[in-house]
Structure 1
């Protein structure tokens, strides 16, 4: 049976529940996912004075063919985008600046160092998001940045964050879509601290200084991101969830939730509805923690489905800014982007193809038997036929056929890299 015939048969089953599949497609193709550039080169970046990866971040594996130049990275991203349905965004870190051989430290970065990214984004109709890079630097060698006891080191990172927000504003102006500029820091201590309050006071003061420099919110959106622990900061992280949740609320900033940055028994899917009640906007970094914040490639597991469901059934597609954050060097990096992003989109489609209003009504009526039974039955509805047709209409490979394209790309392009 052809893709369209399978689709037509599957569509009837969903229409029985009042789900208009074509309307779902129209809605889905307008949801951008912010795809992280750092999957393509193992968070290396292109600084002239490149430092070893640090800040509690580790990339494992040595699969051949990683990008070693901006041109290679952009080419790899283009390949991944050709296999992913929809129009999306690219998320950059400051270490991906292009300074044309000039040594430029991070506190001196300017929009001109990202002009080539902007030209490329315009050519491909992409929005750009941004992150200051507060790791892999000699002034972050002891694991402290914005909360550092040394005022000069703190000032360096304050200036870097201010410069990054101006770069984000530049992206927004040039591309006609606001840039999310997200601040994450690795600061913390390996063992139990004797003073938790003072480092947090310093972090608050640093953030106050950063945000005292105004950018146009039409073009730059500020976000802050927490973490529960990291390598080298196992006992205490300065920028905890409670810290940033309160800071964001008090200072009208967006709180970004990374799915790997919480205790193993916590679920970001459970936090979304609570956050939406008190925040106009919420941002996500979707990853897959395996026992810890290990940033595995996103798969279509229960938590990813539940995250998507919380966004869809609460009509929050315009409120939640969806980004990805994983890095795996043990498999083909372009394939990793493709797998993870397609799964994020699949999860959103899955959520849109559930009779959510009916399920909500059953819950309100206390009919938990029917609610559970329906949820389970929909797991075997012909979702795959709907997904395949969506991919075909969006001009990307259906089913597993994209894997062949990755293999061809690896043979023609990636294998030639040293």
Structure 2
């Protein structure tokens, strides 16, 4: 430990102790909070089913920064580079299109064996895995409907895909000893005025009921459903709205996924956490950064990211909220995007853990809103960065921007060789 860091760490502990915060306890708690990184940042959501396939379903990755992963081996190598620069516990979130198979396997036929390499890799890297069916970028999703499709055959195909995905998710949980959260998101909706809004939602409800009808061990698998306000090509009507999925998750007691980009531009998911937690057993968060809408920009250490982290910590939701990331920026180095976004989420969690929450809560109960506001603002100026640097050092990761040198060296050595 350098003398400079040692001094900063000692002073930081003293400053936070004066507010009633035990810094060591905060770091211990941070080590209980994994963040699930999303594999699709590394290859612009192409997957390995048909890497040249056109993205559909309102999904669009913009930019052409050189060096994206072209196969699973490259993606895993890129992930390892990113993981080495992020302190503390992590998970990986996989989509179904990231299978590895000899020859074409359609999505209703995917099996655990197509993801065995991911499981062995996760074991070697001490990671949990999460999962998602991929209900987009497929010939049977071309008209904008999947689980809510009026055609029984097409709808059954997607039901079978989701059922197969649940079994893969349960396989992850069984093999890795930590439950896999499987999130269902579909792009279903219409571009223009919709006359019958009821029937597609009824079909979606019945399809979801069919999908989750097989009982799986909750120690291995957790179901989650995700809403969206609208999508490209579904601007006027989205079948899986917030109201639909809030009702579904509440009545079926599944987890509910809140994506930071899936609401009105003035809505924030931090304000929804305390409400939804009254009715659903678990929340899955997709932390992203919408710019004017669901543009999936890299997560910043901004007010909303901090507010999301604070809601989790203030209400002791450690075991009921699963934190995942969801962005895909192809205009910058993709590994750097992972590192920036994941480190920022962890920094926000640390800052929340360093808050004297009980003292602030007592001021609120006493009606002393002046002191509450004053302390909240003063808290922003306390030396949390020294605590973060110590946390990084304990996990053998760069504390400051030094990680960028490692990413640049990897780009020169590896990414620049890809064509």
TM-score (ref. length: structure 2):
0.98
Partner of 1:394: 395
After superposition, residues 258-277 of structure 1 pair within 5 angstroms as 258-277=259-278
Partner of 1:227: 228
| Structure-2 separation of matches of 1:98 and 1:50 | 16
| Structure-2 separation of matches of 1:15 and 1:375 | 16
Q: Offset of 1:259 from its aligned partner? A: 0.8
| Helix, strand or coil at the partner of 2:277 | helix
User: Structure 1 residues 76 and 292, CA, compared in 2 at 3 Å: closer, same or farther?
Assistant: same
| 1:76 is aligned to 2:78 | yes
After superposition, residues 367-382 of structure 1 pair within 5 angstroms as 367-382=368-383
Q: Offset of 1:298 from its aligned partner? A: 0.2
Aligned-residue Cα RMSD (Å) equals 1.0
After superposition, residues 103-252 of structure 1 pair within 5 angstroms as 103-252=104-253
| Structure-1 separation of matches of 2:181 and 2:25 | 28
Aligned length: 417
Q: Offset of 1:280 from its aligned partner? A: 2.6
Q: Offset of 1:278 from its aligned partner? A: 2.3
Q: Offset of 1:32 from its aligned partner? A: 0.7
Q: Offset of 1:332 from its aligned partner? A: 0.3
| Helix, strand or coil at the partner of 1:83 | coil
| Structure-2 separation of matches of 1:284 and 1:157 | 24
Deviation readout 1:164-221 (Å, 9 max, x if unpaired): 0000011111111111111000001111211110110111111111111222222111
- Asked whether the equivalents of residues 7 and 389 of structure 1 are also in contact (C-alpha less than 8 Å), the reply is yes
| Poorly superposed stretches of 4+, deviation over 6 Å | none
Partner of 1:41: 43
| 1:17 is aligned to 2:30 | no
| 1:8 is aligned to 2:25 | no
| Helix, strand or coil at the partner of 1:90 | strand
Partner of 1:64: 66
Q: Offset of 1:279 from its aligned partner? A: 2.5
Q: Offset of 1:412 from its aligned partner? A: 0.7
- Asked whether the equivalents of residues 51 and 138 of structure 1 are also in contact (C-alpha less than 8 Å), the reply is no
Partner of 2:57: 55
Q: Offset of 1:245 from its aligned partner? A: 0.8
User: Structure 1 residues 68 and 40, CA, compared in 2 at 3 Å: closer, same or farther?
Assistant: same
Q: Offset of 1:49 from its aligned partner? A: 7.7
- Tell me, which stretches of 5 or more residues in structure 1 are unaligned? none
| Structure-2 separation of matches of 1:116 and 1:192 | 46
| Structure-1 separation of matches of 2:317 and 2:293 | 28
Deviation readout 1:333-378 (Å, 9 max, x if unpaired): 0000000000000000000111111111111111111111111111
| 1:280 is aligned to 2:281 | yes
| Structure-1 separation of matches of 2:410 and 2:191 | 43
Partner of 1:29: 31
After superposition, residues 85-100 of structure 1 pair within 5 angstroms as 85-100=87-102
- Asked whether the equivalents of residues 39 and 327 of structure 1 are also in contact (C-alpha less than 8 Å), the reply is yes
| Structure-2 separation of matches of 1:316 and 1:75 | 33
Partner of 1:328: 329
| Helix, strand or coil at the partner of 1:228 | coil
- Asked whether the equivalents of residues 190 and 234 of structure 1 are also in contact (C-alpha less than 8 Å), the reply is yes
Q: Offset of 1:48 from its aligned partner? A: 4.5
After superposition, residues 270-349 of structure 1 pair within 5 angstroms as 270-349=271-350
| Structure-1 separation of matches of 2:287 and 2:143 | 28
| Helix, strand or coil at the partner of 1:358 | helix
Q: Offset of 1:50 from its aligned partner? A: 5.2
| Structure-1 separation of matches of 2:175 and 2:305 | 33
Q: Offset of 1:380 from its aligned partner? A: 1.3
| Structure-1 separation of matches of 2:191 and 2:275 | 31
| Structure-2 separation of matches of 1:22 and 1:402 | 24
Deviation readout 1:51-101 (Å, 9 max, x if unpaired): 31110011100000000010000000000000000121100000000002x
| Structure-1 separation of matches of 2:216 and 2:357 | 39
Partner of 1:416: 417
| Structure-1 separation of matches of 2:53 and 2:166 | 23
| Structure-2 separation of matches of 1:414 and 1:341 | 21
Deviates more, 1:199-208 or 1:41-50: 41-50
